[in-house]
Amino acid sequence: MEVVSIFYVILYLGFTSSFLLEENTKNPSNDLTEKHYMHVLEMILEEKKLRQNLEESVTQMHTEFKTQIRNLMLDNKTEHVIENKTDFLLQKMNDMENKYSALEQKVVSLQRQLGQVSSELAKCRNDSYVFRNEFSMLKQLKSINQLQDLNKLNTSVDAIIQQLHIYDNSITTLNSKQEARAQDFVALLNKTQNLQRTVTEQAEYVGFSVCAPGPVSTTGLILFSLVKFSYGITDMSSLNTSGEFRCEKSGFYLIIPAIMSTQNNAEYRIQKNGIDVIKVQVAPVAAESKDHTGTGSMIVSLNINDTIAIRELHGQPVFSKYSCLTVIKIK
């Protein structure tokens, strides 16, 4: 109903330019158009629509976030590992709720400002009704004084048009602020998802224990084909073919080889990417007993596709089934 009223006012003001009291009277200029009112109305409706979409997005994000936290808490296997991380996520969620409350207050403030703008527009509409009545009276006026009043009235209309331009700029500013708040929500959601991904990666089990039922390879690397346990690793074939463990997930790893040999002066090296890092003596240079086991350990930072291998130094055979390798991702 308000749009129809505005249309009638604009239509009427458009026709007033054809009214002449005297033959030498100039047509009054009138910049108030229907498009201007429609543009203001469209911006108001768009602001309401954006605010509604913002509230729905935040509600959905909040629900999904709580569901993910609940699912993490139900996993008994990782409960002790991620307990501290869950508390941290809950704190983040509380912070996000506080930020959401603050943004709601800002939206209320924007609504209040929008209400003030709407009141000003209603006042302008009432003024337009008054001007329409005054124009109707001017149709029967011909004196110079009455023409002077008409000039003053045109000046008032110009002032109203200028004020409407100011309101238009104010609404544009409010829309820009609301879009900025929406971008803040998107950034906060991305940070939450990254944090959850980090917690999941740190809670994941990665490690294996393998033994060497076969001989040493031609390169001196010990082959491990008997898999005892394996967690979080998809491909272990290289341990049997080349004697190398190829890292699939970057992090800090604990390397523990235990190699048995029946030869005197047996020793081996722990290698990273083909370079000797740790040397372990299995048996003395001369020993009365034949069976000796040498156990070593090393902590190392591995990136994806880095390799770990155990190389027998003198090409001597190892005692199968009693020579094993354990690798554990600790962080």
pTM, to two decimals: 0.41
Residue bearing tokens 């080349």: 242
pLDDT, residue 140, reads: 65
Q: Kindly report, residue by residue over 191-235, the tens digit of the pLDDT.
A: 877 777 766 666 678 899 999 876 666 667 888 888 888 888 888
For 172, the 3-state DSSP assignment is: helix
Q: Kindly report, residue by residue over 27-48, the tens digit of the pLDDT.
A: 555 555 677 778 778 888 888 8
Write the DSSP string, 19-44.
Answer: --SSTTPPPPP----HHHHHHHHHHH
Q: Structural domain boundaries of the chain?
A: 2-202, 207-329
pLDDT, residue 94, reads: 82
For 300, the 3-state DSSP assignment is: strand
- Element housing 6 (H / E): helix 2-15
**What CATH class has 207-329?**
mainly beta
d(CA 22, CA 13): 19
d(CA 134, CA 153): 9
Give the single-character DSSP code of 296: -
CATH number for region 2-202: 1.20.1270
